[in-house]
Structure 1
Amino acid sequence: MPKITFPRMGESWRTFKMLLEDLGNEVVPPPRPSKRTLDLGVRYSPEFACFPLKILMGTYLETIEMGADTIVTTGGVGPCRAGEYAMLHHNILKDLGHEVRMIVFEPPRLYPFNFIKNVWALNRARVSIRGIIALVKRAWRKLQALDNAEKLSHIVRPREINRGTTSRVYRKVLEWIDQAYTTEQIIEAEAAALEALRSVPQNPEREVLKVGIVGEIYVLLEPASNLEIEETLGNLGVEVERSMFLTGWTRDNTWNETIEGLTVKEAAAPYLPELVGGHGRDSIGNTVLYAKRGFDGVIQLAPFTCIPEIVARTILTRVSRDHDIPVLTFFLDEQTGKAGMTTRLEAFVDLLSRKKRASRRIVTLTG
């Protein structure tokens, strides 16, 4: 029986593992990216390749060491190199002597037959179509539960009384959701997880800053790639709202685009009316929307050499000026260090705090 692995993006691996096993596959879960993962990826990837390509290269090599011989991943469309990752990874692995099978899912809205063919290839248990639909719905419910728990942790962490409590509770409730199997169990685990997070001792009077995070999907969703920036910001007293979660991205690329997606396009239209690949236009549109919602600042996360986000970065300077919202950009690669990032974040948070206090004084004087 083939041993299947896939890219790791945050905690979503728990959902994909369950779904693939339900379809009758033996799964090799991708480990959390580590220094060794990155070292392997950097060693065997082109020097100027995108940061996610290098991390995934290392992840695949580690899972192959663990016995994986089949990789399930996604493709892409538009002017972004991510759509070529699968082919490049396959060629590099072949050159290294690893004969692995790549199953590449293209956007189902554009390539429905590719989607059906790949699902059937993974359906080793020969589950009926009705059964597959039921399994996908259950996996979707687990993915929603994981996303909802993460969203709540971002709200609770900056208000916690004892630093680190939210992160400890969050790690614990992830296991509850992971162990839930039936839809009823998933719903119960989600309810218990949210209640546990709400029960973290908090200071409701504490003033917190609100910062939106935009950027490329992989470095947004995988904490190891962004050096746990959301947790760091929470510990600095910042409530984080990430512009992208896997549930929203899946909806936009599987069914019709959501109302939120259309709103993002409309918000970006005065600055960038055309698709530039990746999530460049989304970064601009979401920054505009965060400004309109009264957020204190925005942080853009981008892989080094990511062309769509480089385009977005040049435009965000104007967006920042037009909407009076500070924007901080991190271009991430294997040279990015935790200490340097934390120093920049502390300075940015201090700037936002000063700006907020100054605005409050102006309102008081004019009032």
Structure 2
Amino acid sequence: MKNIKPLITSPHMGNTYIAVKAFLETVGCLYVPCPPTSRRTIELGARYSPEFACFPFKVTLGNMIEALEKGANVILMAAGRKGLCRLAYYHIVQEKILKNLGFEFEMVGLGNNLRDVLFRKIELWSGKRSTLPGLIKATAITFRKLKLIRKIENLTRNLRPYQVERGEVEKISRKALALTEEAKTFSQLKTVEREIKRLFTSIPIMKKREVLKVVVVGEFFCCLEPAVSFQIEKILGEMGVLVTNNMSSYRLAKGFLFPDLQKWWINRFIVKKYLRYSGGGEERRTLGEIEIYARKGYDGVCILSPFLCLPENTAKTILPSLSKKFKIPVLSFSLDENFSEVNMLTRVESFVDMLRRKKNVSGN
């Protein structure tokens, strides 16, 4: 391993890889993204994971196997900083599984060891000294890209139900993400931001179309990775539903470095009456955002969580009373490798039809 040039990878979580790549390449490291998450990825992860491991563990393990097959030899894996979620132990178990499969690599869990990674590991990987100005520049470019990614994702959600030609928004979104990935400097990013605005403004839309509004909440990995949620945002959008998803890579990265004031406000003033203590996941945010968006007049809620996720299952016991209190329908999915896409599509279609009848809104 000492004589091999470090080739770094990280599991997929939506479009986060674009920002990870930007940071590492700015400080002089080599980065190879995992192949896009596919059915093969999920099957590989499920095959070698413990039976009762949660879905994100299996998917990220599958990502790692495919990246190692491509030649990666260093894996960065989020390890969390505190809390009861098993995310803190993923990288430890995954490393043992992968080494038992015969792979030679270095696993780095990103948690409380951030200082060590920034000032020691990066020097080893890049072959040059880490400087504070260099790290600040890389961090600034990374956060700029994360904000652009969030902007692209929000524009995609907001325009999808109004598009005249199905698939047009998706095509523009892919192009905008590719431009964001290619940009290397602040001036290039500024140019890309203007181009993103121009691209999305050029999409023909039906401005007067009446749409339903649904908020997507739940476990952060399921909300961010389209392959794990089986493209539910796209499906809802093409059915004439305006989707809101407050979870973003930018929000997670910012919350890792600074206090998440929105999360604190939800926990302190909204969720306390339903769930006083955290179970380690996103269950309190799930309950809080249901109340917030119900009061804003949203038509429905879609909850995404991994099968066997204890924190999210705890929240689900409170959902019936919350749904009844605010008169807002809730559609909940427990996701794993055996989840049926056909079953999901049937349930989503029925849910949208019910919301449409409830609101008396005609679709296409």
Please state which band the TM-score falls in when normalised by the shorter chain.
Answer: over 0.9
Alignment of 1:264 onto 2:266: yes
The alpha carbon displacement at 1:182 in A equals: 0.8
Residue pair 2:118, 2:130 contacting (<8 A) in 1 also: no
Q: Which residue of structure 2 aligns with residue 253 of structure 1? A: 256
Residue identity in the other structure for 2:263: G
Residue 91 of structure 1 corresponds to 96
Equivalence for 1:136: 139
**Structure-1 residue corresponding to 2:356:** 353
Which ranges in structure 2 are unaligned for 5 or more consecutive residues? none
Q: Which residue of 2 aligns with 1:209?
A: 212
> Residue 362 of structure 1 aligns with which residue?
none
Partner of 2:11: 7
SS of aligned partner of 1:213: strand
Quick one: percent identity of the two aligned structures?
A: 38
Instruction: Kindly state the Cα deviation for residue 5 of structure 1 after the two structures are TM-superposed.
Output: 0.7
RMSD: 1.3
User: CA offset at residue 229 of structure 1?
Assistant: 0.7
Q: Deviations over 1:235-293 (max 9, x none)?
A: 000011112111112222211222x2223212211101211111111111111111111
Find out whether 1:48 has 2:52 as its counterpart. yes
In structure 1, distance between residues paired with 2:198 and 2:320: 40
Q: Number of matched residues? A: 351
Q: Give the CA deviation at 1:195.
A: 2.5
The aligned counterpart of 1:28 is 32
**Structure 1: 5+ residue runs without aligned partners?**
359-367
1:119 aligns with 2:118: yes
2-side partners of 1:12 and 1:197: how far apart? 21
Does residue 172 of the first structure (1) align with residue 175 of the second (2)? yes
Q: Aligned letter for 1:305?
A: L
Cα deviation, 1:172-195, whole Å, max 9, x if unaligned, reads: 111111111111211221221132
Alignment of 1:39-78 (within 5 A): 39-76=43-80, 77-78=82-83
| Number of the residue aligned with 2:321 | 318
8 Å Cα contact 1:156/1:198 also seen in 2: no
Equivalent of 1:101 in 106, 116, 137 = 106
After superposition, give the CA deviation of every residue in 1:131-183 in whole Å (9 maximum; x if it has no partner).
21111011110111011011011000000111111111111111111111111
TM-score by length of 2: 0.94
Counterpart residue type for residue 42 of structure 1: A
Aligned equivalent of 1:153, options 153, 156, 165: 156
Normalising to structure 1: TM-score of the pair? Answer: 0.93
In structure 2, distance between residues paired with 1:177 and 1:251: 19
